[in-house]
Amino acid sequence: MTTRARFDDFRTGQAVVLDAPYDEQSAWSLDDVRPLLRAAEQHAMHGAWVAVMVTYEAGPAFDPAQQVHPPVAGLPLAWFCAFHAANHTGLVERSDQPVTVHDLQRRGGWRWYGESVDEIREIIASGSAYQINLTDRLDGVLEGNPADLYARMAAAQRGRYNALIQTDNHVLVSASPELFFEVRGNTVTSRPMKGTIKRSARPDDDETAARQLADSLKDRAENVMITDLLRNDIGRVARIGSVKVPSLLRRERYETVWQLTSTVTGEIDDSLGLVDLFDALFPCGSITGAPKVSAMHHITELEPWPRGVYCGAIGVIRPLQFGEVRPWSTFNVAIRTAVVDTATGALTYGAGGGITADSQPDDENREMEAKSVVLTTDRPEFRLLETMRTAAGAVQHLDEHLERVAASAHHFDFDLDVAHARQLLGRLAADVDEPHRLRLLVARDGTLETTLDPIGDAPTTLAVRLAAAPVDTHSVFMVHKTTLRATYDSLNAANPDVDDVLLHNQEGEVVESCRANVLYRLGDRWFTPPLSSGGLAGVARRALLEAGEIRERTLFVKEMGAIDQLQLVSALRGRRDATAVAPA
């Protein structure tokens, strides 16, 4: 395999691909690590693009007091590859070929991790550390192209510091959202990331999760401790009085998690080079704990395996430009990072978190697993979808439809101009008097597409059937209306003799149908399943609730035979009676 590298920034939409290297070097001993970094920087000083990798076990090359395990067999402590030119291109895209991670198993496991959390709390109580970063490994086998795994992981995380490095023996797949350091001109910037909570599918619940993270004393303390450590590290090389924290405890939204991030900057002298920065900063304090040397000593005692590339750094050094004193360099903290053996497909992935005196074993286990979701998340490109009814030259419930699609745009970080969408929809609806179906599609970049069609005839009483198996109501695509409708399409295709299919969740609760919300009558009262059962927050359903015509009440599948009347409701068709049909 020809060595190549690429770096994708999903926040700016910029990517660079490096091909056809003219020099490649590896450091297999600690004595070789610092000379290798000097050589990498010299290549950039002479006009090259350079991809660099430094493993966690290279730490003692910069500070002999750091304690680590022997390095991963077959993996150099540090490596670089130099390229004459770079191809500036669009963001990475997946091919049509399948990619799967099989037999994924935690190396330490839930019990080991929890017991280690308790042990760390005792260490902290003894006074030898304030925080220790504990990590576990996941081992599996990759079936497919590692480049496709990278495209999938990068799209699932949508962070700034993604990197793919392909060599003869290993492929490094990094979807890291965390900046270790960037040096541009005389300014060095680091963005430590500590504090994590899993995102929720429903917008209200997701915002609650974000507030919980922002208000968490444990997570705030964890972040502040590491920010202070980074201030001290940067202060070792920065000019006196130049170290600043322009951003503290900022919430950042990623596809699968919320993170707390802070920013530390400092100004350095012209004489300092890349090795000086690694001497002061490596490894990043966010993946060690504080104090760094003491935390690393305890990590080596607690974790019985080397970390390798995980918790090291992967970066790119750009060619020196006219008038600059040093090349522009960017290095990530190699988290959300997998290493794939090119010969066997064996895959290793690491995840973990900072443990403080307030940490709870089960909470830390859940955080560790939340950070691993990116490895298996398969989220193809999609668009937001909103279907509306027009009548008498206007869109019915326009405000509510726009509010819902705007909430989804916020959740997925789509660039939606609501005012522009309102004008477009209003203009289209004004051209027709008879009822029409108006469909709005929103792309991630904010591009809008619409269709306007007459509403055709439809039955007034619907035949419906309960789905044969429950649906995953934890899926984000069950509570946001998008073009990813495979679940609904497959259920409709499997039941061609009925008009719609009723969905139910893992707890035996009725959720909705493939096309509408469910209403049911008990005596003289009408109810609808609560959103906690899953499903879409329908606009027509909302109007009925606000008018007091229906109430929320859980409907269990086993209760279906006891209800007095069943209806489906949608903004397009309104309320229609439904009759449950037995399984085919």
Q: Which residues are catalytic?
A: 178, 194
Tally of CB atoms within 10 A around 2: 9
According to DSSP, the residues that pair with 353 across neighbouring strands are: 134
Q: Is 167 helix (H, G, I), strand (E, B) or coil?
A: coil
User: Which residues pair with residue 179 across a beta bridge?
Assistant: 191, 332
Cα separation, 219 vs 296, whole angstroms: 20
- Alpha-carbon distance of 374 to 199, in angstroms, equals 12
Q: Cβ distance 143 to 99 under 8 Å?
A: yes
What residue type is 115 in one-letter code? E
- Token pair in block for residue 411: 């959740």
User: Are the C-beta atoms of 88 and 14 separated by less than 8 Å?
Assistant: yes
Q: Which residues contact 35 (CB under 8 A, 6 or more apart)?
A: 27
Crossing angle between the packed helical segments 398-412 and 539-546, to the nearest 10 degrees: 120
Three-state DSSP at 527 gives strand
Cis peptide before 283 (omega within 30 of 0): yes
DSSP 8-state assignment for residue 108: S
- Taking the CA of residue 468 as centre, how many other CA atoms within 13 Å lie in the half-sphere pointing to its CB? 9
d(CA 152, CA 144): 12
Q: What one-letter code names the amino acid at 416?
A: L
Which helix or strand (DSSP H or E) is residue 316 part of? strand 313-317
> What tokens appear for 321 in the block?
């430009």
